[in-house]
Structures are given as structure tokens and as C-alpha cells.
Amino acid sequence: MSASVKSLLDHPLALTKADQKRLEKLAALAGRTPRVMLRFVLRDGFATCEEDVAENIKADTEFSKGQSKDHDTVMKSAAARLKESDKRVRQRA
């Protein structure tokens, strides 16, 4: 274990009451315990974790409503857009 990691582990971690509530809310939205969620918050920060959870909830909702697209459809659309863009670039040249 590196000295910097050991130093971090030697110090107790304390969250403010506001951050504790924020962690609990985030964990509930993510379907995790606050203890498990804390690992991700320490690694990525609250803002990133909150954004990730919100995006996952949005994706789950879209999927359950049948608003998602399968991989082949997305790849064909992307290929068509790239081909069209390439055509325009070549016409300008």
C-alpha cells in the first residue's frame, strides 16, 4: 500500500450533515446502500455520481417505454450520417 493511501486511511472520514443527506438520497435513487455509494462519491465526486444516476434512470425509463433503439439501427444511422458528411466534404474539395 502506498504511503499516500495509508495516510488517507489513517484519518477518519467525516461528512457534513448536508453531504450525509445528499449521499443517502443518491444511494436511494441508485438502489445502493450509502456505504457502497460513498466509494463512488469519493472516487468521482457528488456531481458526477448524481449525473450518472440521473442518466441511468432516464435510460431505464426510455427503455421501459420502448423508446430505445437496437444496436444495428443505431450503427446503420451513424454509418449513413458519416457517409453523407464524407460526401459533402468531398464535394467542397
Residue 36's H or E segment, with its range, is helix 34-44
% residues pLDDT > 90 (the chain): 70
% residues pLDDT > 70 (the chain): 88
Q: Is 7 within the bounds of a domain? A: no
Residue 8 has pLDDT above 80, yes or no: no
Residue 30: count other Cβ atoms within 10 Å of its Cβ.
Answer: 18
Q: Is 70 within the bounds of a domain? A: yes
Q: Is 51 within the bounds of a domain? A: yes
In tens, the pLDDT along 20-44 reads 999 999 999 999 999 999 999 999 9
Q: Is 67 within the bounds of a domain? A: yes
Q: Tell the residue number behind the cell numbers 458528411, with chain if given.
A: 85
- Check: pTM over 0.85? Answer yes or no: no
Q: Could you give the angle at which helices 34-44 and 46-64 cross, rounded to 10 degrees?
A: 120
d(CA 59, CA 64): 9
Determine contact, residues 39/50, Cβ cutoff 8 Å: no
Total domains in the fold of the chain: 1
Range of the domain at 31: 17-92
